[in-house]
Amino acid sequence: MLPTVTVLASLGFIGWLIYRAVSGKPIKAHTVAYGVACITGIFSLAYFLTMDVVPQLIKIVVCILLGVALIIVAAYLQRRQPAKP
């Protein structure tokens, strides 16, 4: 069930990007970085929860920490962009 949701979320995000590109709307870098961070968080959640070696509490904590790290990276990349004149 969870891998199916992960694949559908990925396809939905890619479809949304294609829709925005075709309709001529601008796609900002931080939007793409945030979407990639969310999808990566879902993938890591699906991966860690299917492992049987590690207890479930540790899996959930690692997924949360990975998601936080990816969101921080996305925010850092957004802040690094120079201001438009």
pLDDT at residue number 82 = 66
The pLDDT of residue 84 is above 70: no
Q: Give the contacts of 60 (CB within 8 A, at least 6 positions apart).
A: 48, 49
pLDDT digits (tens, 9 = 90+) for 15-42: 888 888 888 888 777 777 777 777 777 7
Is 0.85 surpassed by the pTM of this model?
no
Q: Which of 37, 36, 64 is nearest to 48 (CA)?
A: 64
pLDDT digits (tens, 9 = 90+) for 54-68: 677 777 777 788 878
Indicate if the alpha-carbon torsion angle 25, 28, 32, 37 is positive or negative: negative
The whole-angstrom separation of Cα 17 and Cα 25 is: 10
Report which listed range, 3-7, 17-21, 46-50, is most confident.
Answer: 17-21
Q: Which of 31, 50, 41 is nearest to 69 (CA)?
A: 41
Domain boundaries, the chain: 2-80
